[in-house]
């Protein structure tokens, strides 16, 4: 039987049976554990899912018009194909394909540790392990561990915890979300589940396999291959789509108006039923959704920052592939969400890359010359989010770009990397949407920005970006930088708090009663587009 091989990956070295009529990308998805960048979800638009065919090119169909165009543009070499376009023919023969390494992500796993009194849902009672609902999880075998998971659109970040002491076991585990092979954003993945009968199962299995793989790697690192068997409780957070995909729940309603999950309640199931490699009786819990695409990760941010407990008004801004903004205190909380981060995470712009080795993270322009720093001090491969913010601010300060965000011609960053007017258009639209949500939430709350005492910046953007430059381009409000607090991975911090403490889990359930999720575009109607337009250009 003919096979297709992906030699770079453990799961691809032994090969898998070819399925005539299916694309190479579809084979990659079936294999699992193989990373490939498919921003557009396999629709032949992004041109990122490049493979190099070392053997068996004759067993793939002719190059499509999309590939021929990329070949003429020099974006594909003669021995390269797009995985989503290269379709296996009915002829028999082995195929060997290499996936150019598009880089290891530098994933934010740091978070501000919350001081929580251990009071977990899984605990020792006599010689048994019990769940707080009264369920017997089995005999006590010396350890009770828990796992907190932040299921991000782009990344997976996890932390193993000793539930008896509240202490971390090993360091946070971080990896790319394998679902990236199905598209870089939630809309692409929702669309895949709607257009493919097994799509929901594929996406659910992909993320679970990613978690299991990380657990295996942690066991090897700590020299203990039995750790997973001591995990009795799992807390998973993510935006509305990511949370529901992890639990294998239908996400169709999140892809169509009014973009709401039919059931926002918390979830508790047997973890083994999801395919997780944990104790056979372990439970998996996810806190409630807030509304729209503001999901359990946004709720975790609220729990970890503690704004729901304070009298003073605070704001949380979490800029990822999706952006969430929260404002409020112990009496009232308002939220809004928007698709904010795609352009800043290396997608949608020509010069953009994610936070991978070689990504330009800092930029300055001095006397017309560009100076930059890259991740890992590697040769530059593109500009990531923090670098893009610096670049826009520096172009504006140096006069290369005017207040209307116009440049006369493509601006070279290196000999091979440049930013175009089209790139800038994507970036300013993304920042305008997020800034408009900030402004409107302050308005709806009935205060001015002066009344917001602290602004917590959660996620990788908040951790790494130059706040002054973010203010300069209007991504953040023009206030004293001392009022901003970098909070790291607030979603993981919140998940950990809910894992260790029943009180925090109860808080999460109760906080949803004082949260109002707003949809500014619906509230403002036709006026919304003008408000966004006011935030497109520069200044605050």
H-helix segments, 50-90: 65-72
pLDDT of residue 347: 60
Q: Which two tokens stand for residue 386?
A: 């923090």
Give the chain's domains with CATH numbers.
3-98 (3.10.20.30), 122-297 (3.30.420.480), 351-419 (no CATH)
Distance (Å, whole) CA 443 – CA 330 = 18
DSSP 62: P
* DSSP 3-state of 238: strand
Distance (Å, whole) CA 415 – CA 413 = 7
Instruction: Give the pTM.
Output: 0.83
DSSP 125: E
Q: Which residue has the tokens 């019990």?
A: 130
Total number of residues shown for the chain? 540
Distance (Å, whole) CA 430 – CA 442 = 19
Q: Which residue has the tokens 């996406």?
A: 203
Using alpha carbons, select from 50, 28, 31 the residue that is nearest to residue 39: 50
* DSSP 3-state of 34: coil
Tens digits of residue pLDDT in 194-235: 988 999 999 999 999 999 999 999 999 899 989 999 999 999
Distance (Å, whole) CA 50 – CA 74 = 13
Distance (Å, whole) CA 208 – CA 171 = 20
The residues, any chain, with a CB within 8 Å of residue 346's CB and separated by 6 or more, are: 352, 353, 354, 356, 359, 382, 384, 385
Distance (Å, whole) CA 76 – CA 420 = 21
DSSP 185: S
- Beta-carbon count within 10 A of 59 CB: 20
Distance (Å, whole) CA 317 – CA 442 = 13
Give the pLDDT of the chain (540 residues) as one tens digit per residue. 788 988 766 667 788 888 899 899 988 888 766 777 776 777 888 787 888 888 888 989 999 999 988 888 888 888 889 999 999 987 788 888 888 654 455 544 455 677 888 999 999 999 999 999 999 999 999 999 999 999 998 889 999 999 999 999 988 888 888 898 888 788 889 999 998 899 999 999 999 999 999 999 999 989 998 999 999 999 999 999 999 999 999 999 999 989 999 999 999 999 999 999 999 999 999 999 999 999 999 999 999 999 999 999 999 998 877 789 999 999 999 999 886 556 666 666 778 877 777 889 899 999 889 999 988 788 888 888 888 999 999 999 999 999 899 999 999 999 989 999 998 998 898 889 999 999 999 999 999 999 999 999 987 777 778 999 999 999 999 999 999 998 888 999 999 999 999 999 999 999 998 999 999 999 999 999 999 999 998 754
DSSP 23: B
Tens digits of residue pLDDT in 293-330: 999 999 999 999 999 999 999 999 988 777 899 999 99
């Amino acid at each position: 039987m003919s096979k297709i091989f992906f030699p770079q990956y453990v799961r691809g070295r032994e090969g898998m049976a070819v399925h005539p009529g299916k694309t190479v990308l579809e084979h990659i998805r079936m294999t699992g554990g193989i990373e490939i960048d498919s921003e557009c979800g396999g629709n032949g638009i992004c041109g990122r899912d490049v493979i190099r065919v070392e053997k068996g090119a004759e067993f793939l169909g002719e190059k499509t018009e999309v590939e021929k165009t990329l070949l003429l543009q020099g974006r594909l070499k003669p021995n390269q194909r797009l995985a989503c376009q290269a379709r296996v023919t009915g002829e028999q023969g082995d195929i060997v394909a290499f996936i150019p390494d598009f880089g290891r992500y530098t994933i934010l796993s740091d978070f501000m540790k919350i001081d929580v009194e251990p009071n977990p849902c899984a605990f020792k009672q006599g010689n048994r392990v019990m769940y707080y609902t009264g369920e017997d999880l089995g005999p006590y075998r010396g350890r009770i561990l828990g796992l907190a998971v932040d299921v991000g659109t782009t990344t997976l970040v996890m932390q193993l915890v000793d539930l008896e002491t509240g202490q971390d076991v090993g360091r946070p585990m971080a990896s790319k979300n394998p679902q990236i092979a199905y598209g870089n954003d939630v809309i692409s993945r929702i669309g895949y589940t709607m257009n493919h009968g097994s799509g929901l199962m594929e996406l659910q299995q992909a993320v679970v396999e990613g978690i299991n793989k990380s657990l295996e790697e942690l066991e090897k690192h700590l020299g203990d291959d039995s750790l997973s068997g001591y995990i009795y409780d799992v807390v998973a957070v993510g935006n509305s789509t990511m949370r529901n995909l992890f639990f294998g729940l239908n996400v169709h309603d999140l892809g169509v108006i009014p973009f709401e999950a039919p059931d926002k309640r918390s979830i508790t199931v047997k973890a083994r039923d999801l395919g997780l490699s944990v104790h056979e009786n372990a439970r998996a819990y996810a806190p409630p959704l807030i509304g729209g695409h503001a999901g359990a990760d946004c709720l975790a941010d609220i729990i970890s920052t503690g704004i729901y407990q304070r009298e003073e008004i605070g704001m949380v801004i979490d800029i990822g592939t999706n952006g969430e903004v929260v404002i409020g205190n112990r009496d009232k909380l308002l939220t809004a969400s928007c698709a904010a981060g795609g352009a800043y995470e290396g997608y949608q712009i020509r010069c953009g890359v994610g936070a991978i080795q070689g990504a330009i993270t800092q930029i300055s322009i001095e006397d017309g010359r560009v100076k930059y720093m890259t991740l890992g001090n590697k040769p530059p491969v593109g500009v990531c989010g923090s670098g893009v913010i610096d670049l826009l601010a520096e172009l504006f300060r140096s006069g290369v770009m005017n207040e209307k965000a116009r440049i006369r011609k493509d601006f070279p960053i290196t000999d091979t990397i440049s930013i175009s007017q089209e790139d800038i258009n994507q970036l300013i639209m993304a920042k305008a949407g997020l800034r408009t949500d900030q402004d409107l939430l302050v308005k709806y709350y009935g205060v001015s920005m002066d009344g917001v005492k602290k602004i917590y910046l959660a996620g990788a953007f908040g951790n790494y970006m130059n706040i002054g430059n973010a203010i300069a381009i209007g991504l953040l409000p023009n206030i004293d930088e001392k009022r901003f607090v970098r909070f790291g991975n607030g979603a993981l911090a919140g998940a950990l708090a809910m894992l260790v403490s029943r009180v925090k889990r109860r808080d999460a359930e109760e906080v949803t009663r004082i949260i109002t999720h707003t949809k500014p575009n619906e509230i403002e109607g036709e006026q919304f587009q003008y408000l966004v337009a006011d935030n497109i250009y520069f200044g605050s």
